[in-house]
Amino acid sequence: MSINEVERVEILPLNPPANNSYSFKQGFPIVQFMIPNQPKLLVGSTVRLNGTIRLNMPTSTEAAPELVDNNENKGGGDANRNGCLSSRVGVASCVEQITLSSMTNQTLEVVRSYGRYLASVQSITHSQDDLDTNVQLESLTASRKMNGAFLVNNEVSFSIPLRTGLLSGGTEIPIGTNGIRGLMVELRLSPDSQVFSGFSLVDGTAKNDSGSGTGMFYQLRDLSLSYNLLVPDAETSAKMSVPSTGSMTYNSISHLYSVINASDQTQNFNLGTGKTLSVFHNFLPTPHLNNYNQDSYETPRLKNVVGGTYSAEAPVKRVSFLKGGVLSPIENEVDVETASDNSRPRSELEVNFINAIKPYSMFNHSLVSPNTQNQISTDVSPLTGQDLIITNGQNRQQADPDPVFGVGVAEDPYKVGVDFKNTNYGLRIVSDLDGQSPNSIFTYVLAQNTLAYSPQGIAIVS
């Protein structure tokens, strides 16, 4: 097969609202696109959602829009005007779920809690420089909340990739009759209270609006989907237009939700995947979900409630990964008690977490550093050569010192996959949780699927 040309395509949604603006608050939380059946190959990594985002105050209308003002230079210093996106996830935080299916209604992949997935993956695979340059240009991210807040004071254009397993693979996707017969892309938007942070660091001081963010809403406007198609030679195009048999393998990402509360708790999950490559988890105090006053996409360590707020860390002491109740693939407990007690990097825990997202042997740059994990300066003064001390959470040369915390494991270093269809995956965490401070666990599973197509239809084998 030879490729004759590359087509660059842009399509509009199937369900455009009257004002061409998608908004959870205004009743348009679903966006649908159709990539039609044609004898061509889709380059999944080029699929991008394009548009403009507008962050609105509660009184904003279509005729008289009132945008958030994190500069506080329009409203006379009104502290209620502080609302921004998650600086590390950016505009992708507006997407709660991505569903990919064939034109024959065969579901190929569903990624739920997409923003929480990116909160870990994007921070592990992109550095501070990335978040402030190339990723910022497309996704509106920033390594510091202050910069992210300034970024969304006006309507801003974006062009974000859809980082699902199917679209992120290196294999081109046949979308002809001898293939998946077209692709449906459905995006379900996040609630406004999940997207907004009710405080922002705009002048070095954390400003908590104590509920004043309620009613803020976002709009995604003028949306389109762009992608590249490979046009094969005439002989291959003819074959792709006729029903036949074939198959392709691709990775899929699935999500499970649970809650941890006890100091020694074992979570068991029925993954239902036959070729499981890796599993990772990130955490968030449960009341911080869908909360205007909190960043719902932060990735903190486990926390206890003190004085009515989740203000005290509950250090993790030991972690075990289980398969059918037996330690696997790490055949010992990951013991980080000493490092936790001394506020030092939990090296073994963090290396395995990183390895679950990106092979550690290829780990070349990341947002993760002693600065983010332990507030230990990793920069020096260009004038004196001394460490730049973090004061009140601020160091203008470094990323915000908020941890990129998670627990994970690569199930199979050889990328063959481990069978969890008839066996439970288990996670045991021993920590200082007090039993009265529920923390949510977001679990993401990377597994390999096989898509088989024939004149009778499409089947997915996981």
Average pLDDT (73-96) is 75
The string of pLDDT tens digits covering residues 215-262 is 889 999 999 999 999 999 999 999 999 999 999 999 999 999 999 999
Q: What is the pTM of this model?
A: 0.93
Percent of the chain with pLDDT over 90: 74
Confidence of residue 204 (pLDDT cuts 50, 70, 90): very low
Q: What is the pLDDT of residue 77?
A: 45
Averaged pLDDT score across all residues of the chain:
90
| pLDDT value at residue 94 | 97
Q: In the Cβ-directed half-sphere of 98, how many Cα atoms lie within 13 Å?
A: 28
Phi, psi (degrees; rounded to nearest 5) at 119 = -55, -35
- Other Cβ atoms within 10 Å of 219 Cβ, number: 25
SS3 335: strand
How far is C-alpha 42 from the geometric centre of its chain's CA atoms? Answer: 23
Question: Of 416 and 432, which is predicted with more confidence?
Answer: 432
Q: Is the pLDDT of residue 137 over 70?
A: yes
Residue recorded with tokens 């809650």? 259
- pLDDT for 82 beyond 80: no
Nearest to 299 by CA among 408, 385, 386, 217: 408
pLDDT of amino acid 201: 42
Which residues have CB under 8 Å from 157's CB, separation 6+?
A: 50, 51, 52
336-379 pLDDT, tens digit each: 999 998 888 899 999 999 999 999 999 998 999 998 998 888 87
Looking at the predicted structure, is the pLDDT value of residue 433 above 50?
yes
| pLDDT score at 213 | 62
Does residue 283 carry a pLDDT above 60? Answer: yes
The pLDDT of 82-106, averaged and rounded, is 93
pLDDT band at residue 186, thresholds of 50, 70 and 90?
A: very high
Cis (ω within 30 of 0) for the bond into 29?
no
Record the tokens describing residue 447, joined without a space.
């597994």
